[in-house]
Structure 1
Amino acid sequence: MTHSPGPPPIHLLPPAVRSAERLRGTLVPCGPGLRPVAWPEAPRVRAATLEQLCSPSLAAVLATAAWVWGARRALDRPVEVAGGRGGAAAERFDPGLRVRDLRFDAGELHQFGGLRVSTPARTVSDLLRLREDFGAPDRAACRLLLRLVPGGAAEVAASLARRPVPHRRRALERLGDV
């Protein structure tokens, strides 16, 4: 497996340097951070801007994962993350993070540098199941994410049917409307 380099860790630069480079136009906003203008706003670059917010034990999920995959225009606040044990106490009480207790099966997380992100299939499943208010932005994100899932909606439906998960019926109904 080859490893392509990720973007430089902009958040480690001194604030004065970040500010000067932003004024020069070499750094541009990207989610909660900055990215070099020469780096396209791709999933690994978006993920790199989130690394500074949470520990490696957590994973970006739901709308945050959809943003990383390019299925949302803007990053919603708070940033949605999950971990099997819920993360550290400091992360649990960080107002910029919404920490969820979710379990992941093998293959449901993708690693971008120091950040884990739920896969497009898992992100669609979680959005369909766990969003109380499933509005137009979530429907659009699901449509875009389904393009990244081999087998598309049929694969997500089969995955939901294979195992007992909370709100499966709601997810299957919503999947039909996406």
Structure 2
Amino acid sequence: MPAIPVYHPGERLSLAELTAARIDGEVVPLGASFLPADAAAPPATRAASIAPLIGPSYAFVRRTAAWIHGACEQLDEPIDVQRAVPAMTTRIVDRAVRYHDQELPSADAVLLGGCRVSSPARTLADVARLAVQPGADPSGTARDAAARLARDERTRAAAIAWFADHRRRPHSVAALALLRRQDDVTR
């Protein structure tokens, strides 16, 4: 399958040229980039559309990863980024980025669109923890993303297994209960 072209402002075309192409109906915005109006946006394309926002030492996580995996309609700001290398890195200082300094293990990451993204199972575990954390999900996007990701039995089972290996994470008991309720609903 041929790669879908993702146009990042300032590379081949300026932002003004891409905006004109958008007005003409030739491209549509996606993340921080544009793609052809008739193109689909699979996870690799979604990841590629925001890849220029981070460097190779980082990974997209939580709600941002949920958007990449197709579980959210809109890309929420700030985007969630986590360190994906063992050594400390320079912290990203940007209002549009929520930086998490704990290392994302390589077992919990996948490579999509040229950048690291938390795996669907790890993303489900993270958004489920956000969904049950008091005050952390006022719009309900984490709960909706968790419900969409949990529809896939393998992803849900892998997230439940992840919690078995990471029992001491904040809100993991309530998040695990949420996933088990999802498991009961789908049976």
Matched, 1:160 2:163: yes
Q: Do 1:50 and 1:115's aligned partners in 2 also have CA atoms closer than 8 Å?
A: no
Encode CA deviations 1:60-82: one digit per residue, 9 max, x unaligned.
10000000111000111101110
Matched, 1:35 2:38: no
Instruction: Give the TM-score normalised by structure 2.
Output: 0.80
Moved more, 117-126 or 47-56: 47-56
Tell me the amino acid that sits aligned with residue 79 of structure 1: I
Q: Do 1:86 and 1:99's aligned partners in 2 also have CA atoms closer than 8 Å?
A: no
Cα displacement (A) at 1:88 = 2.6
| Cα gap change, 1:16 to 1:66, in 2 (>3 Å) | same
Query: After the TM superposition, which parts of structure 1 deviate over 4 Å for at least 4 consecutive aligned residues?
Result: 84-87
Structure 2: stretches of 5+ with no match in the other structure: 183-187
Q: Could you say which residue in structure 1 is the equivalent of 2:111? A: 111
Cα displacement (A) at 1:24 = 1.6
Q: Could you say which residue in structure 2 is the equivalent of 1:169? A: 173
CA root-mean-square deviation = 2.3
Q: How many equivalent pairs are there?
A: 173
Cα displacement (A) at 1:98 = 0.5
Moved more, 10-19 or 70-79: 10-19
What is the percent sequence identity of the aligned residues?
Answer: 31
Task: Give the 3-state SS of the residue equivalent to 2:74 in structure 1.
Answer: coil
Task: Give the 3-state SS of the residue equivalent to 1:140 in structure 2.
Answer: helix
Structure 1: stretches of 5+ with no match in the other structure: none
Alignment of 1:1-178 (within 5 A): 5-11=3-9, 12=11, 13-84=13-84, 87-89=89-91, 91=92, 93-130=93-130, 132=133, 133-134=136-137, 136-148=140-152, 150=154, 152-167=155-170, 168-178=172-182
> Hey, what's the Cα distance between the residues in 2 that align with 1:8 and 1:75?
16
Cα displacement (A) at 1:59 = 0.6
Encode CA deviations 1:119-162: one digit per residue, 9 max, x unaligned.
11000111223453246322221121123452x43332222112
> Hey, what's the Cα distance between the residues in 1 that align with 2:158 and 2:69?
18
Cα displacement (A) at 1:164 = 4.1
> Hey, what's the Cα distance between the residues in 1 that align with 2:2 and 2:137?
36
> Hey, what's the Cα distance between the residues in 1 that align with 2:60 and 2:137?
19
